[in-house]
Structure 1
């Protein structure tokens, strides 16, 4: 126990140093209860506890320990512990680290060698970074790893104690992992993840005020916090949900709903036969960045794989339709924009009319700065927009403009 006590004292000393020199991080750190866990290699937090390996703590310098503690507390400060959803735990941890580390370094903190730093991601939310990693890298799983998804309490051990080692993926360059917020035990007064998120939001606002009064607010803090707030509704998931609603569906007793079978109820399941033809219109007026294009391409490819359209038309336009690429069922799409003039949306609808095509869904990637047709088409239209402008018809899906 002597070693554990030494590690706890080192953490206490580092926390005091943060409170004096970096009050934003030091104040928030008091919300986390320290717990030793040798089952993890470094540190981890679920928004309630700060789990640490004493050997890892002992191997850090005091400046590195301060940076690592600030790194950990930024996970719940940015709501990372409540926003993962069904994403891969490993890739989510990497995306969260990329979102946090530049802020810490710009604040003058020191991080251990080998941490994840990529200035391309600076100011972006973890969701944006996650999608970019997925679209830019080979997303095949590394040997010995899995996409760990499911109930955040799957790692519970004997006696109800969570097996933190099972829940904390060993990510390259990771010095502190983010775990899903714990679910409350039935009959207790433990907070739900939603209540945790609310309290952390209040705590962050208070810590930010205190840091500003002390003249020691971290550089770039507001932009990072805003990125996290904007990501509360993930545009990719919203696009997926709205797109799915346009897919023809029916019910069948041949494939009962698995959601209710466990309870002895046999209800018909939803059968989606796959859509017919889909149109994707890419605004090439110069307002769409390569980064946004990559995000949209990854989301569109994922959705199309699930929807199984018979054909996909990709229209590249500005004031006119410059080119149309056609993809048959199962072919992966790749967006290669061409153009650069002003923006008119009418030519896209006109091209479909001229070809006699009535798509199951039409999706625009645009900033919505252009002229619209006078009449709404008979098919659903989704606008994945990088601005806060409105459209006269269809559903607007706000897409981060970073």
Structure 2
């Protein structure tokens, strides 16, 4: 096991921000990984990778781990693909470290085009670039919402240590604050957030023969997609409280979804206090709209209609102002409410539809 204490002491003297966080992280040998990683406040590394590195390269690895902690990257991942999110975080972190003069170890994740972008923004760019590879990893995200008291306490202590580190005078204070503020802004617009959510619901067949060519040059063998097909239900609120401008935005985004994802089966419902129209569109078929309504808002007819189907969707997108009557029970599928304002909902998640000028 490598003794990192001399490097941590050097960081405390030269770069107090990194030294404070790195000193509080346990170092753990893990020979099942390629190089090094950060997991729940621990710096994990493979000895065969870390031992040949120079002092400067090992220091780079410790600083990388410290920034992962300070930026709460694990907690901020949400429903994003784990491997793609980790790649985006490393791009953001490693760019700052390299531009600040640290010596990078071999084969790290770096691209100067991501210079001033947050992890969220980089993830968005990568998801467009590697959309064929991105899988729905929600089921593998175990225990995220059910952390025990010890884990919650540990996380709170780590966050406190990161906050204290930010108060220290550091040669890189300005760059670190800029990166942290960039991440806090969450500049990804609501459309990108929506498309990332929908992207996890592809029905796909993955195969390694042939492998995806996207990352072969970096030595990554990722599954290629044999076929890809999006299946979801969409409901549009046509009640009197939804004005023409908002209704136009709803339709425009439905059109954008179909253009982006290409192959799809979409069950489209228009509803105010009752179902006004329902049609199914498949495999690139152009979507047409029968928009009528103007009465009050009742969400229950949409859920009752879906209940009558033989095959229920994995995801329902409901475009609405959220001013209506909700079902008494949560349905056995995911629900995304796309609305102009954030309002408490009994189930599902709200994505706020923002104006271009917001």
Classify the TM-score, shorter chain: 0.5 to 0.7
CA distance in 1 between partners of 2:258 and 2:76 (Å)? 18
Contact 1:101/1:117 (<8 A) preserved: yes
Correspondences of 1:299-318 after superposition (within 5 Å)? 301=260, 308-309=267-268
**1:332, 1:125 → 2: CA distance?**
37
1:187-209 CA deviation, whole Å, 9 max, x = no partner? xx5122xx555444432221121
Q: TM-score, normalised by structure 1?
A: 0.50
In the TM superposition, structure 1's runs of 4+ consecutive aligned residues that sit over 6 Å from their partners are 240-243, 297-300
In structure 1, runs of 5+ residues without a counterpart are 155-179, 244-271, 284-292, 312-327, 334-354, 364-379, 385-394
1:331 equivalent to 2:288? Answer no
- The aligned length equals 256
Distance 2:92 2:250 in 1: 30
Other structure's SS at 1:111 match? coil
RMSD of aligned residue pairs (Cα, Å) = 4.9
Pick the aligned partner of 2:116 from 110, 119, 123: 123
Cα gap change, 1:81 to 1:87, in 2 (>3 Å): same
Question: The residue matched to 2:151 in structure 1 has which SS?
Answer: coil
2:204 aligns to what? none
Write the mapping of 1:190-229 to structure 2, written as runs, cut at 5 A: 190-192=150-152, 195-210=153-168, 212=169, 215-229=170-184
Q: Take 1:299 and 1:26, find their aligned partners in 2: how far apart are those partners?
A: 49
CA distance in 1, matches of 2:179, 2:91: 12
Deviation at 1:306, TM superposition (A): 8.2
Residue 273 (structure 2) aligns with: none
Task: Provide the rounded CA distance (Å) in 2 between the counterparts of 1:332 and 1:66.
Answer: 55
> Out of 136, 139, 155, which is 1:150 matched to?
139
The aligned counterpart of 1:350 is none
Tell whether 2:55 aligns with 1:66.
no
Change (3 A) 1:234 1:150: farther
The answer to whether the aligner puts 1:75 opposite 2:65 as a matched pair is no
Q: CA 1:302–1:79 in structure 2 vs 1: closer, same or farther (change >3 Å)?
A: farther
Stretches of structure 2 that go unaligned for 5 or more consecutive residues are 199-231, 238-246, 271-280, 294-317, 322-336, 342-350
Paired position in structure 2 for 1:19 = 12
- Mapped contact 1:106–1:219 kept (Cα < 8 A): no
- Partners of 2:355 and 2:258 in 1: how far apart? 11
| Structure-2 separation of matches of 1:196 and 1:231 | 25
